Chains A and B, each alone.
Chain A
Amino acid sequence: MSSPMEQFVVKPIIPIKVGGIDISFTNSALFMVLAVATSTLLLAWCLRRRSLVPNLAQSVPETIYEFVASLLRENVGAEGLKYFPFIFSMFLFVAFGNLLGLLPYAFTFTSHLTAVGSLSLIALAFNIIIGIKKKKIGWLRTFLPKGIPLALAPLIVPIEMISFLSKPFSLTVRLVANMTVGHIMLKIIAGFVAALGVLGFVPILFNSCIVCFEIFIALLQAFIYTVLSCIYLGDALHEH
């Protein structure tokens, strides 16, 4: 029987090597491309006939749009709507990554620390750039909040720096842990099907319930990831 961790192995599909660095096109990369392609095609297909009164297909992208826009308005404020494209793309990318990973034989790139971590690092870089653009040199105040005696600065500044850097990390771990746990659980319970013989239908029933639950978790985690990046963006634009 295959191990429950086998589904997370990154395998190169098209090996590419540039100057000793392995940049092969892997199954992880394939599913990232698929996530982008399906989300783009699906939204484009839904919006192919645009009318003022939306039909069923058109109302789906509109609902997602309204949903992300209200998230931004609540967590960042009206000025956050400037960064709508970034947040919207991130939400779709994570949501489709989670959902595509649930298909049989699929690879879940959101269960890898490196993949989600890179996404979080982009959000971090975005946050720093916006913060510096908005507050100029005052951005450095992030690391030394007002009202702290200067004598404590050598202690507070490293602590605030680590706190600042650990935010994208905890953001990443939460998404990765949820996706990994769900997929391992599915595989382990599926392993019982063969072992139990005639009674094998019990784990099958149980697994079907878990798959439904996993669809919910996939969307919920994409939502949480988006909310936290919104809050993160809000921190860059406002004082604490």
Chain B
Amino acid sequence: MKKTPEDIRQLEERISELKSRETESRRDKPESEFSFAAKTGFRIGIELLSGVLVGAALGHVLDKVFGTRPWLLVGFMFLGGAAGVLNVYRFAKNEEKSRQKE
């Protein structure tokens, strides 16, 4: 079976119609408030925790290198907490920007 230009034109029409219908159906269903809250909460919790843990790990390694146990561990844990808060702040800023765009 050979495709004539007429066939291709009809096919293009069908594709564009289906595409517009698809974007329409996606727009009708915004993310539910609960799933958004759960996702964001989980993300922020991990972000805060990972800052402290990575800071502590870094402090522990540096302590071993310089032989200053336990001071760098303590200091870097606080810095890690700050880094966690910084990550959350950046995440929240981005999230707000993307929400305003919608």
Contact = CB atoms under 8 A, between A and B. Distances in A.
Are these two chains actual partners, yes or no? yes
A155 to B, nearest CB: 8
Contacts of B83: 159-163, 166
Interface string A151-181: 0000100111111011101100110010000
Contacts of A159: 79, 82-83, 86
A86 to B, nearest CB: 23
Given A159-B83, A174-B43, A166 B76 contact: no
Interface stretch (B12-20, B26-34, B45-53, B63-71): B45-53
Contacts of B86: 159-160, 163
Contact of B87 (A158, A161, A170, A173): A170
Contacts of A155: 79
B46 A173 contact: yes
Nearest to B91: A170
Contacts, number: 53
A169 B54 CA distance: 8
Interface string B1-14: 00000000000000
Contacts of A174: 42-43, 46
A165 B46 CA distance: 14
A169 B53 contact: yes
A34 B84 CA distance: 37
Candidate in A161, A163, A169 with the most chain B CB atoms within 10 angstroms = A163
Given A166-B84, A167-B87, A173 B50 contact: yes
Given A167-B87, A170-B87, A162 B51 contact: yes
Interface string A26-44: 0000000000000000000
B79 A166 contact: no
Contacts of B58: 161-162, 165
A42 B82 CA distance: 46
Given A167-B87, A170-B87, A162 B47 contact: no
Candidate in A155, A169, A170, A177 with the most chain B CB atoms within 10 angstroms = A170
B76 A169 contact: no
A159 B76 CA distance: 9
A159 B47 CA distance: 14
Contacts of A163: 51, 83-84, 86-87
A170 B58 CA distance: 15
What are the 8 closest A-B residue pairs judged by CB atoms, nearest first? A162-B83, A163-B83, A170-B50, A166-B54, A169-B50, A166-B50, A162-B55, A159-B83
29 contacts: A158-B79, A159-B86, A160-B83, A161-B58, A161-B83, A162-B51, A162-B76, A162-B79, A163-B51, A163-B86, A163-B87, A165-B58, A166-B47, A166-B50, A166-B54, A166-B80, A166-B83, A166-B87, A167-B87, A169-B54, A170-B46, A170-B47, A170-B87, A173-B46, A173-B49, A173-B50, A174-B43, A174-B46, A177-B46
Interface of B: 42-43, 46-47, 49-51, 53-55, 58, 76, 79-80, 82-84, 86-87
